[in-house]
Amino acid sequence: MKILYINNIFSLFLALFISISAVSQNSAFKSTYAPMPHSNVLLKNGNIFDGDGNKFLNTDIILQDGKIVAIGKDLPRSMDLEVVDATNKWVTPGIIDIHSHMGVYPAPSVTTSSDGNESTSPVTADVWAEHSIWVQDPQFALALKGGVTSFHVLPGSANLIGGRGVTAKNIQRNTINSMKFPGAPHSLKMACGENPKRVYGNRGQAPSTRMGNVAGYRKSWIKASGYLSKLDEYENKSKEAKEMGYKPQRDLELETLAGVLRGDILVHNHCYRAEEMAMMIDIANEFGYKITAFHHAVEAYKIADLLADNNICAALWADWWGFKHEAYDMVQSNIAIVDQARNGTGCAIVHSDSEIGIQHLNQEASKALAAGVRAGFDISQARAMKWITSNPAKAAGIYDETGSIKVGKNADVVLWSENPFSVYSLAEKVYIDGALAYDRDSGFEPASDFDIGILNPAKNRIDE
Amino acid sequence: MKSSKFFKIYVSFCLILFNQIAHANEILITNANIYDGKSDKPFVGNILIKSGKIQSISDDMFDAEKIINANGRIVTPGFIASDTEIGIVEIGALSVTRDDSPKIYNIGFSIFDAFNPNSTLIPWNRANGITSALSLPKYSSSPIGGLGSFFDLNSELNISGKKDMVMIGRVGGSSSKSRAETFALMEDILDLAFSIDSNTIKSDSEIITFMNDIPLVDYLDLHVRDMKALYKLANERLPLIIESNRASDILKLIKLKKKYDLNLIIMGAQEATLVSSQIAENKIPLIVNPINNIPNSFDELASNINASARLEQAGISLMFNAPRDHNYHLIRQGAGVAVANGMSYAGAIKALTSNFSNAFGISSKGVLKKGASADLIIWSSDPLEPSSIPEKVFINGVDTSLMTRSLRLRDRYIKNLDKPNTYR
């Protein structure tokens, strides 16, 4: 294999890209994330799933200055590299969960910190999940030990339009800005089906039906389109004309929706049933926005080709079902069917929506893969690894920076004790931007403020 | 001569008939890698099933009408799910499909008559390795109350199982009252249970007369059915599952077990590691979810992914549960996670099989031995790998169907795609 070293021009371009995309975002609540002090590491002789669908056996990886700088056989050891023997072990990109409620539904699950659903109005595009995140949630560290290096936190699904989601690096810190993934776009959470119509219908308020749901989305997008026209009109004026006229009044709700129409904010749509997903695609076409991913999508297998044709990912569980009527038609090969649609151009993601599931996304992918193979699909483990790495990275808009083991990308890397498709495999070392964030052998791991001295004043919670 | 010839013909006819009858329900599984549910090591052998029971489990070869070569695959007892709503809840959020809670009765509420053998959860969990399950009602307003039943997951309308074999209860943090009152109430209820004598229980009118003098009966709005269930709890040492997590609560429950000689099983037990020696000393089995390491309440702060391994080390008998939501077979994945985090493999298999039968006194289930129910599974690969799947599932000796609604739906969307889906 060819040895590739990082291209300095590439990193320059990357920095430029990040600063440009930041301009189009709100200037408040900017990411202040800075990596932890990195180590320069040679992961020696490991077996690699690169997250882009490839498997490389007995191969080395060099992590340097927070980036992946080389992948290849028998890479030269230089003096400043710490060598980690990965023989008979496996290396993958950091796992990414595209559907998490960590921080907004933290542990312990108490009413005073249950901040994921602003269920006071069916459209709350003005709220941002990051403003609810409790940074001391002990769940972040548990997810880290499951190999999760980045995760996307969404508002809940009580509302038709629930607000903005945020992508974070899994380095727990005492402000959310210092955890936010630099340059990552916001998402907009939308929800179909039973939840919004139940929450508001029970109050004798719209929506109380699925047709009420659809009317609700469309009314919002009509308002958003009008707002965007005014905004565009103002922005297209000459400098002089701008001084003469008034700038359109800021509107938090419409700013978010207009951000979607401009393509700056990615739509993540909770939707179970096939016919509802098809309708959501119609609505997106009607108003000229794109749906990045359907979430939960228990019936995605019924419209897998439609999803592939529209370049929409489906973020799915391996086997959850039956808790609601719209989740009744589960098939275990849902993920595989989505993946294989239109000659393998489908985009399948294994998501968790669960503080336990997020710790074992590799096992969830393993179940989904096994079901796909039983259904007769020829899917490799290397390909299935995409479901929890590069595909969620693409859906979060961070694929250029992370989500696969590729020269130039962030050194978000997990060393596994054995093949990660086995239940017995444990994450041994987790690197985030080249910094060792978890080390099973030495017991190096974060503890949130919540974990400190809460059972035994002299110990951490997890050490009990 | 004549008679002797007749006799010979008669005998040979009988033999043929006998062989046919014998063969018709004899199945031999050969070359199986057997985890029998009780031994610490697997062994390779053959299993002869006859009349729904295990007739032999050994190296011996037999002739049988049906011989299945397991080709060295793992064979285990059918796994038992110890904490489910199977057969009593079809769709979680659809109340018309929920039969898990009463309106009038509480302590004596039994879910048995609600059990639906045609529930889609039954083939689903069976095809994923669960052959029987304990179905439990929702917790009632009383800290002790509600009766659970045990069912074979064989989809037979003629239900086989064990009715009202366990009572449930719960204690812990609550937004409505102090746990101190819950414990006081628990003791009051247990005092009441042990005060009902065999004469009182003889007739409903005797029970009604007895109930007249007791304030607690009014307070909890108890009925004759509830009193009968309490009598059973006290006099038949009905297993009592109490869901409880905090270490101090577990110690209080141990005191109650001692005081009333309860047949106590603790479920949840997220802080059991803090009091494991006391639990072991008092031989209290636990039902735990080995994959749940979330400090989900202030009662569960000691939750830890290595809890199962540590509890096994302490000598405690464990059973596994999964969230009460359809996929009860996920106890296999939980068991795998327990092993990945230090539990012994054989111990994890026992937690899915014989630990249940020992805790609940159902000796014919959860173990592969001569005379036991032929509930067994031939696995595609390691059953603790969630990617594995049963290739054969026998329940009471019957080679059950592994078809599910889910598989039917799958095939509808990957085969014959030239036709509209509703005509596939």
Residue A10 has pLDDT above 60, yes or no: no
Q: Which two tokens stand for residue B89?
A: 């809840």
Contact B410 A332 (CB under 8 A): yes
pLDDT mean for each 10 residues of chain B (424 residues) = 42 40 74 97 97 96 94 98 98 97 95 98 98 96 96 96 98 95 98 95 95 92 96 96 98 98 98 98 98 98 98 98 96 98 98 98 97 98 98 98 98 90 88
Q: Among B309, B338, B296, B290, which residue's Cα sits nearest to residue A355? A: B296
Residues of B in contact with A366 (CB under 8 A): 385-387
Chain B contact for A447, CB < 8 A? no
CA angle A223, A224, A226 (to 5 degrees): 65
From the DSSP assignment, how many helices (H) and strands (E) are in chain B? 13, 16
The CA distance from A124 to the nearest CA of chain B, in Å, is: 25
Please report the pLDDT score of residue B25 as a whole number. Answer: 75
Q: If you compute the radius of gyration of chain B from its CA atoms, what whole number of angstroms results?
A: 24
Give the position of tokens 């009152």.
Answer: B181
How confident is the model over A355-367, as a mean pLDDT? 98
Chain B from 80 to 139: CB within 8 A of any A CB: 90-94, 120-121
Say which residues have a Cβ less than 8 Å from residue A288's Cβ, sequence separation at least 6.
Answer: A261
Q: Is B129 left (phi over 0), alpha (psi -120 to 50) or beta?
A: left
Paired sense of beta strands B74-77 and B376-379, if any: antiparallel
DSSP state, A316? E
Neighbours of B58 (CB within 10 A): 12
Q: Which of A12-21, A242-251, B359-368 has the lowest mean pLDDT?
A: A12-21
User: Contact, A55 vs A382, CB < 8 A?
Assistant: yes
Please report the pLDDT score of residue B424 as a whole number. Answer: 86
Q: Among A355, A335, A162, which residue's Cα sits nearest to residue A260? A: A162
Q: Distances in Å between the alpha carbon of A244 and those of A239, A249, A297, A359? A: 9, 15, 50, 56
Residue A207 has pLDDT above 80, yes or no: yes
**Count: domains in chain A:** 1
CB neighbour burial string for A140-179, b if at least 16 within 10 angstroms, e if fewer: bbbbbbbbbbbbbbbbbbbbbbbbbbbbbbbbbbeebebb
Give the position of tokens 């990193």.
Answer: A11
Q: If you compute the radius of gyration of chain A from its CA atoms, what whole number of angstroms results?
A: 22
Question: Residue A78 corresponds to which amino acid?
Answer: S
Residue A9 has pLDDT above 70, yes or no: no
Q: What interface predicted TM-score (ipTM) does this complex get?
A: 0.93
Chain B contact for A360, CB < 8 A? yes
Please report the pLDDT score of residue A265 as a whole number. Answer: 98
The CA distance from B350 to the nearest CA of chain A, in Å, is: 18
The CA distance from B23 to the nearest CA of chain A, in Å, is: 33
User: Contact, B122 vs B405, CB < 8 A?
Assistant: no
Q: Among A300, A364, A284, A355, which residue's Cα sits nearest to residue A104? A: A355
pLDDT above 90 covers a percentage of chain A that reads 91
Domain presence at residue A1: no
- Best residue of A354, A381, A423 to probe chain B, by most B CBs closer than 10 Å: A423
CB neighbour burial string for B194-225, b if at least 16 within 10 angstroms, e if fewer: bebeeebbeeeebbeebbeeeeebeebebbbb
What are the residue ranges spanned by the domains of chain B? 1-78+368-424, 79-365
CATH number, domain with residue A454: 3.20.20.140
- E strands, B78-231, are 79-84, 130-135, 144-152, 161-170
Q: What is the tens place of the pLDDT at every residue in A57-105?
A: 999 999 999 999 999 999 998 889 999 999 999 999 999 999 999 999 9
Domain presence at residue A3: no
Give the position of tokens 């999803």.
Answer: A307
Residues of B in contact with A423 (CB under 8 A): 333, 336-337, 339-340, 384-386
Residues of A in contact with B295 (CB under 8 A): 107-108, 138, 461
Chain A from 387 to 446: CB within 8 A of any B CB: 421-426
Q: Among B375, B384, B370, B422, which residue's Cα sits nearest to residue B74? A: B384
The CA distance from A110 to the nearest CA of chain B, in Å, is: 7
Report cis status (omega within 30 of 0) of the bond before A207: yes
pLDDT category at A26 given cuts 50, 70, 90 is: low
Please report the pLDDT score of residue A27 as a whole number. Answer: 78
Please report the pLDDT score of residue B245 as a whole number. Answer: 98
How confident is the model over A127-151, as a mean pLDDT? 98
Say which residues have a Cβ less than 8 Å from residue A462's Cβ, sequence separation at least 6.
Answer: A141, A445, A447, A451, B304
Interhelix angle A361-374/A334-344, nearest 10 degrees:
60
- Report how far residue B283's alpha carbon sits from residue B262's, in angstroms, rounded to the nearest whole number: 11
Q: Is the dihedral of CA B380, B383, B389, B392 positive or negative?
A: positive
Q: Is the dihedral of CA B15, B17, B21, B23 positive or negative?
A: positive
Question: Has this prediction a pTM greater than 0.80?
Answer: yes
Domain presence at residue A170: yes
**Could you list the residue range(s) of the whole structural domain that residue A132 is in?**
8-463
The CA distance from A33 to the nearest CA of chain B, in Å, is: 27
Provide the 3-class DSSP secondary structure of residue B260.
Answer: helix
Q: Which two tokens stand for residue A442?
A: 């030495």
Q: Which two tokens stand for residue A237?
A: 């004026």
Please report the pLDDT score of residue B421 as a whole number. Answer: 87
pLDDT category at A16 given cuts 50, 70, 90 is: very low
Q: Among B85, B247, B360, B268, which residue's Cα sits nearest to residue A461? A: B247
CATH number for the domain whose boundaries are B1-78+368-424: 2.30.40.10
Contact A332 B339 (CB under 8 A): no
Is B79-365 the same fold as B1-78+368-424?
no
Please report the pLDDT score of residue A243 as a whole number. Answer: 87
Chain A from 191 to 230: CB within 8 A of any B CB: 194
Spell out the alpha helix ranges (H) of A236-273: 239-244, 252-261
Mean pLDDT over each residue of chain A, to the nearest integer: 94
Q: What are phi and psi of A260, to 5 degrees?
A: -70, -45
How many residue contacts between A and B have a Cβ separation below 8 Å? 124
Q: What is the tens place of the pLDDT at every residue in A248-304?
A: 999 999 999 999 999 999 999 999 999 999 999 999 999 999 999 999 999 999 999
- Report how far residue A109's alpha carbon sits from residue A114's, in angstroms, rounded to the nearest whole number: 7
Residues of B in contact with A302 (CB under 8 A): 413, 421
Residues of B in contact with A426 (CB under 8 A): 340-341
Question: Residue A247 corresponds to which amino acid?
Answer: K
Please report the pLDDT score of residue A384 as a whole number. Answer: 98
Give the position of tokens 């607690």.
Answer: B216
- E strands, A90-186, are 90-93, 95-100, 148-153, 161-169
Residue A24 has pLDDT above 70, yes or no: no
Using CB atoms, pick whichever of A110, A376, A454 lies closest to residue B301: A454
Q: What CATH architecture is B79-365?
A: Alpha-Beta Barrel (3.20)
User: Contact, A217 vs A161, CB < 8 A?
Assistant: yes
Using CB atoms, pick whichever of B175, B296, B333 lies closest to residue A363: B333
Contact A426 B273 (CB under 8 A): no
